[in-house]
Amino acid sequence: MAKIVELPRLSDTMEEGVIATWHVALGDKVKRGQLIAEIETDKATMEFESFDAGIVLRLVAAEGDALPIGAAIAVLGKPGEDIDAALAAHGGAGGGGADATPPAPVAEAEPTAVATPPPASAAAAPSPSTGPQVAGRVPDRIAASPLARRLARERGIDLTTVSGTGPHGRIVKSDVDAAEASPAAAAPMVAVGTEVDERGRPFVGGPDQPQRLSQMRKTIARRMAKANAEIPHFYLTTIVDMDAAVTLREQLKAALPTKVSYNDMVLMAAARALVTHPEVNAYWDGQTIVQRGSVHVGMAVAVDEGLIVPVVRHTDQRTLQQIAVLTRDLGTRGRDKKLTPTEMSGSTFTVSNLGMFGIDEFSAVINPGEGAILAVGAIADTVVARGGEFAVAKRMKMTLACDHRVMDGAVGAKFLATMRGLLEQPLAMLA
């Protein structure tokens, strides 16, 4: 009997996935372990290798389709096997894909059917082709790949304004990327109401453009709303004298092959402080406090779709050089969507640093499954009093968000004091 290929769970928080790219087509022969698709999850775009072998009898899901875990996405088997029976036994045809390959671009661009003339009342209304275009709407007659259609919807680009460079003038992903970068992709500005400026000129504006959410953005919205609603946050802020850390980093630049960042120092200090204060390395499981047995510090990394948290596992047992090497690798592969689910899960504490964006101070939302998160601001020149005189010093603000079910203010304050001491005397971390 034909075998159903199901959408797999590729991350611990994944509830649905999007078929980003198919690497096989109808009639292809597939081997076990062969890459057949790339699937967009809530954290990254992951490669999916087939668990079965056979001929591709049907691609149930098309590129751009969002499907729940376990949904049928393809059918493998031998020629002549009953595809519909296999899908019926599985529980349905899945997420609205196609039985065969997409129609040829010429068929899309040159419809042959002749429409019946509309009634007079309908003819008076403006036709879709002459009326105003809704930004991001993708007419079916446009010759475009499924991925290009999905990207156009997400980015609010009208495909009627995009020139295709694919076979037979078909619009492909690179065309959508180029259109987004072009000023012509912006929504047309129109007069807004009857308001005018002091010269009598009408104010102009563009239409609202609802954005299609990526799987990552959906998960961030759901998890952060849940965390903010259910976790009783309180915040503690401290100011750190970073003069010694700045001096040490300059020395390490010349001594180590990998550049050490201030964030690497913060990660190391956080890990050491978590060992000293294990009650912060804990979380609320719904009924009790669970203290973690290992220290795995996550570092928030901004990507185009939102935020990911690669994990530096066993951070407390690593040297500063090892942390620096690992954070560079995780950050680079995270932005390229090349991280594995294991590398983005299991953190026991998270550091979010916006100092590189010039942010002095902010508060972060605790990730579910953790008891605290540290928000780190920029290192800034600050006027301070020293020995009865004024001087300029390097200062940095850190704000710890704590789950009040897990710890009280004194616990968080002691943790921050330990971190502050380590960063102000950073040589102690290297001993």
Q: CA-CA distances (angstroms) from residue 344 to 32, 219, 223, 262?
A: 26, 14, 15, 22
Cα 75 from chain centroid (whole Å): 30
Task: Give the CA radius of gyration of the chain.
Answer: 28
Round to whole Å and give the CA distance between 23 and 280.
46
The catalytic residue among 23, 90, 168, 404 is 404
Answer yes or no: are the C-beta atoms of 341 and 10 closer than 8 Å. yes
The partner residues of 349 in beta bridges, in order of sequence, read 297
The partner residues of 352 in beta bridges, in order of sequence, read 375
Round to whole Å and give the CA distance between 278 and 291.
7
Round to whole Å and give the CA distance between 372 and 227.
12
Can you list the positions of beta strands (E) in 206-346? 233-241, 282-284, 289-291, 297-299, 301-303, 306-308, 311-312
Q: Is 296 a catalytic residue?
A: no
**What's the DSSP call for residue 185?**
G
Catalytic residue IDs? 404
